[in-house]
Chains A and B, each alone.
Chain A
Amino acid sequence: MIRSAGPLAALVVAGLVLGPLAALALAAQGRWALAPGDLAAIRFTLLQAAVSAALSCALAVPLARALARRRFRGRRLLVTLLGAPFLLPALVAVAGLLAVFGRSGLFSRLLAVAGLPFPGIYGQGGVILAHVFLNLPLVTRLLLQGWAEIPAERFRLAASLGLPAGTVNRLLETPMLRERLPGAFAAVFLICLTSFAVALTLGGGPRATTVELAIFQAIRFEGDLGRAALLGLVQVALTLPAALLARAVAAAAGFGAGLDRPLPPRPEAARPLLRLQDGLAIGSGAAFLVVPVAAVAVAGTPALAALPASVWAAALRSAGVAALAGMVALALALAWAAASGRGGLLRMTGYLPLAASPLVMGTGLFLIVLPLADPARLALPAAALVAAVLALPFGLRAVLPARDRAEADFGRLADSLGLAGGTRFRLVILPRIRRGLGLTAGLAAAFAAGDLGVVALFSDPGRPTLALELQRLMGAYRIEAAAGAALVLLALALGAFALFDRWGRRADA
């Protein structure tokens, strides 16, 4: 029974990714055409995704290297904080970025003091800046994990031979980077392909239209489902090669990983110039990633005391959605881990959601649900389900390799003891994948807390989620209360992630 859970879950996920596309296509009733500007949108989408991914990778290397070879007070906290932007709801992230890089933000004021002109955040540059902000944490974690997995003995050997930094770099770090960076690049590229809210607000105009935005316009304004389905297919076609690459180079994201092992001896890095370089990398990385998050907190704090009761009710509701999403993601990841086969198709399906447009998924789901039930009643469960499916690829990158390692290390021992089925899974596999399960559930919970698309579409006006309430406050001129709600949303997304992640890490105790 436990083995049939995998294929079953795979069917659910494949259905959720492909079913909506089909539903959209069926509803389109034969009107299939792209609009003028769609080709430009495809071009821009590819360009910004490639540049965002390349920059995220390029900046993550010095940052992760510095974090990997330095120990200092508060390092653990900093590594945790540096992960935060990846979990941020887009609304909150944009608010934080504007507080720093906006026209009257900290950065532009600093520039003004120095007498320099402010280049402005809007346009292609702004979209890329925001994408790097959101995804640099992901790449940094992936690489930090890579550094942690270089055996300490190799660094010890290098130290005993007195190899200088350049040689250590070439001998130990470059091979690891060559193995990790393609996967990291592909992951960021995929995420940026379906970027929506960021491109929408910071894009600066029709020049920066992404495919996802074009889908939104086709669905929402033109009711042109055929065009939306076509664009959705284009998106899948664009993402498939990158998804394959990401899968081929599947490396554990290890967001919760205990990256605090004792530092292997790194005497080659003791040179003052390298210390300076690492200090700069950590300092500027922290400033870039932490200050916008802190700005959201600072802006929101004064409004906290006077927040309308509806905000707290919405927060409670969102916490429920986050918890549900976490549970669903947990169940899905468990099903994948339990599936015995190393079947390529099953694995592939797990990474499929990377290629999915959340908008198409939401709209298609809406079309599927409509004849069966009142969508408003299903708004919250639907949001949880979509978030769980979207988080699955990131979680599986941690769960599946851990599962495989457990099988490789203890499979024969388990065989010799006659362990099979559920007992084997519980005793041999489960303890080894628990960390990955916690990560999967945590990501799903954070994504669900920030969801706006599905909730807005299914719309249960009487029971808004926090993200929806935040948008309502903005729409009702309540800018200060909105800042307070943004802070609550920030705390909710990070807190929900931390709770599940902590559950996963208790396995190490």
Chain B
Amino acid sequence: MNPTRPPAAPVLALTLALVTGAATAEPRILTVYTYDSFVTEWGPGPAIEQGFEALCGCDLRWVTAGDGAALLSRLRLEGARTRADVVVGLDTNLITEAAASALFAPVAQDAPYDLPVEWDDELFVPYDWGYFAFVFDRARVPEPPANFPDLAASDLRIVIQDPRSSTPGLGLVLWVKAAHGAQAGAIWEALADNVVTVTPGWSEAYALFLAGEADMVLSYTTSPAYHLIVEGDDGKAAARFDEGHYLQIEVAGRIASSEVPDLAEAFLAYLVSDAAQAVIPTTNWMYPAVTPAAGLPEGFATLMIPDRALLFAPREAQELRGPAIEEWRAALSR
């Protein structure tokens, strides 16, 4: 080849690339922070990404952190430098703190939510919810306890999560607080000998339960639906506590500094639309915030529905969190 003459083909290709690149604008990018399990192939992420990208003609990119608490911590680490446009996966116990970070912008969404409580938060959109509950195997626990004192009096062995590192763990501490108020410390002291171990997150606890290390595990009333629908196993159930069950409402919000606020707002709208909500039950194994037109999947009808929903208002939850965790720690440290 003669080195002085530029080969024609590469030059042509390069020119073409430059021209077409300039003609069709790069698709805009929407960066969504969420917790890890949301975007796995078993989670709602893939379907939601596909559905939303088809609508917006944009490129949706996920960034993940361990769970809701880790998400908030990561946002705080990043501060104003965050690349997030939308955050999916905080819960009601975290939103006061999230709001205090001043990173979030008000949202315009208002859907006909099917939540056990009224919803009027201007920064966050709820996308699913569930009741915390102790899940057990019917064969191993024929007569489940009916409340916390019952559980404490039994010799059942339970696995719970650490309230300092996991949202269900924190939910349990607030649950006991909401149900027993000033007596919460005494309840924890009585429960101490039932607690096999305290795990960092939900998945470790649930794995221990399935491996037979405990009789019951702190999870959600919706957990038995997984075993029923995916595994055809109707042996798992959630124990009904007569004090009522604490709620977890998972929420999403948009970041004020986002360069694509219209895309962010559109995504939140999509998240509570029928298309996305219909995906939630059998991927996130929670109740959708807006019941899909086609109704809940078969199997959800068999789930235990608590008589009473317990939930602290976000500000109250924020104030109670520190003292309630300290109560828990003190009782279990004995």
Contact = CB atoms under 8 A, between A and B. Distances in A.
Tell whether any CB of A sits under 8 Å from a CB of B in the complex: yes
Interface of A: 27, 36-37, 40, 98, 102-104, 120, 122-123, 126, 200-207, 216-217, 219-223, 225, 308, 310, 363, 366-367, 370-371, 374, 376, 456-457, 459, 461-462, 468, 471-472, 474-479, 482
Contact of A479 (B43, B74, B81, B210): B210
Nearest to B326: A36
A206 B332 contact: yes
Given A206-B198, A220-B73, A371 B207 contact: no
B164 A205 contact: no
A461 B36 contact: yes
B164 A476 contact: no
A504 B10 CA distance: 45
A479 B230 CA distance: 13
A50 to B, nearest CB: 20
Contacts of A461: 36, 39, 62-64
A472 B210 contact: no
Nearest to B164: A217
Given A205-B198, A376-B63, A477-B230, A27 B77 contact: yes
Given A200-B200, A205-B332, A476 B43 contact: yes
Contacts of A102: 211-213
A200 B205 CA distance: 11
Interface string B48-90: 0000000000000011111001101110111001010000000
B72 A474 contact: no
A206 B78 contact: no
A122 B207 CA distance: 15
A221 B170 CA distance: 10
B307 interface: no
Contacts of B213: 98, 102-104
Given A217-B165, A376-B63, A461-B62, 15 more contacts: A27-B77, A36-B329, A40-B333, A98-B208, A98-B213, A205-B192, A216-B165, A216-B200, A217-B164, A370-B77, A456-B66, A459-B65, A468-B36, A475-B36, A477-B285
A118 to B, nearest CB: 11
Contact of A200 (B192, B199, B207, B226): B199
A155 B313 CA distance: 76
A207 B196 contact: no
B206 interface: yes
10 contacts: A36-B326, A37-B326, A204-B197, A207-B332, A216-B200, A363-B77, A459-B63, A472-B36, A477-B285, A479-B211
B42 interface: yes
A104 B41 CA distance: 31
B66 A479 contact: no
B36 A479 contact: no
Given A102-B212, A104-B211, A461-B36, A220 B333 contact: no
B200 A478 contact: no
Contacts of A216: 165, 200
Given A98-B211, A219-B73, A474-B203, A37 B197 contact: no
A332 B328 CA distance: 46
A498 to B, nearest CB: 28
A201 B197 contact: yes
Contacts of B164: 217, 221-222
B195 interface: yes
B40 interface: yes
Contacts of B165: 216-217, 220-221
Contacts of B198: 203-206
B308 to A, nearest CB: 27
B204 interface: yes
B42 A476 contact: yes
A9 B207 CA distance: 42
A200 B41 CA distance: 27
A476 B44 CA distance: 11
Given A205-B197, A374-B83, A220 B66 contact: yes
A30 to B, nearest CB: 15
Give 7 closest A-B pairs by Cβ, nearest first.
Answer: A475-B203, A104-B212, A476-B42, A461-B64, A474-B203, A217-B164, A122-B197
Residue in A223, A462, A468 with the greatest tally of chain B CB atoms within 10 Å: A223
A204 B66 CA distance: 21
Contacts of A123: 197
B306 to A, nearest CB: 22
A478 B37 CA distance: 12
A308 B326 contact: no
A86 to B, nearest CB: 22
A472 B78 contact: no
A370 B204 contact: no
B142 to A, nearest CB: 18
Nearest to B284: A476
B207 A482 contact: yes
Contacts of B129: none
Contacts of A203: 197-198
Contacts of A27: 77
Interface string B204-231: 1011101111100000000000110010
Contacts of B285: 477
B184 to A, nearest CB: 15
A225 B73 CA distance: 10
Nearest to B201: A475
Nearest to B82: A370
B156 to A, nearest CB: 13
B267 interface: no
B132 interface: no
Contacts of A371: 81
Contacts of A474: 203-204, 206-207
B65 A204 contact: no
Contacts of B148: none
A40 B330 CA distance: 11
Contacts of A206: 162, 198, 328-329, 332-333
A40 B196 CA distance: 21
A220 B210 CA distance: 27
Contacts of B192: 205
Residue in B66, B164, B230 with the greatest tally of chain A CB atoms within 10 Å: B164
Contact of A370 (B62, B81, B230): B81
B72 A223 contact: yes
A222 B77 CA distance: 11
B287 interface: no
A196 to B, nearest CB: 9
Nearest to B209: A479
Residue in B41, B77, B332 with the greatest tally of chain A CB atoms within 10 Å: B77
Nearest to B42: A476
Nearest to A219: B73
B246 interface: no
Contacts of B196: 103, 120, 122, 204
Contacts of A104: 211-213
Nearest to B200: A200
B94 to A, nearest CB: 10
B202 interface: yes
Contacts of A120: 196
B299 to A, nearest CB: 14
